[in-house]
Amino acid sequence: MSPEAFPLQFLAPGQTADIDQVLGDPDSVHRLLEMGMRVGHQIEMVQTGDPCIVRLGGHKLCIRDGSHFQVLVRTRDVA
């Protein structure tokens, strides 16, 4: 059974997860997709807070609270 999806902001620094959903207004979601934030891609929390910093595909992105989108992630099952 796979874990439930939860908001990206709940990841701890250094923790990785797979992007499950990108929700929000169409313009914001489109911009995130252009930056590589796609379902199934792995994302790592670098710094929590406002703004939070994540690593995605070798790049760091800064995400502020109050943005018009939400990223839901899933941690991988540990066997």
Strand partners, 60: 55
In a domain, 30, yes or no: yes
In a domain, 70, yes or no: yes
Q: Write out pLDDT tens, residues 31-62.
A: 889 989 999 999 999 999 888 999 998 899 99
Reading phi first (left if > 0) and then psi (alpha if -120 to 50, else beta), residue 38 is in beta
User: Sign of the C-alpha dihedral, residues 70, 61, 27, 3?
Assistant: negative
In a domain, 1, yes or no: no
CA dist list (Å): 35 to 10, 42, 61, 78: 21, 13, 9, 28
**Residue 1 pLDDT class (50, 70, 90 cuts):** very low
Average pLDDT taken over every residue of the chain: 88
In a domain, 10, yes or no: yes
**Could you give the number of structural domains in the chain?**
1
In a domain, 79, yes or no: no
**Residue 64 pLDDT class (50, 70, 90 cuts):** confident
**CATH number of domain containing 56:** 2.30.30.90
pLDDT at 77 exceeding the cut of 60: yes
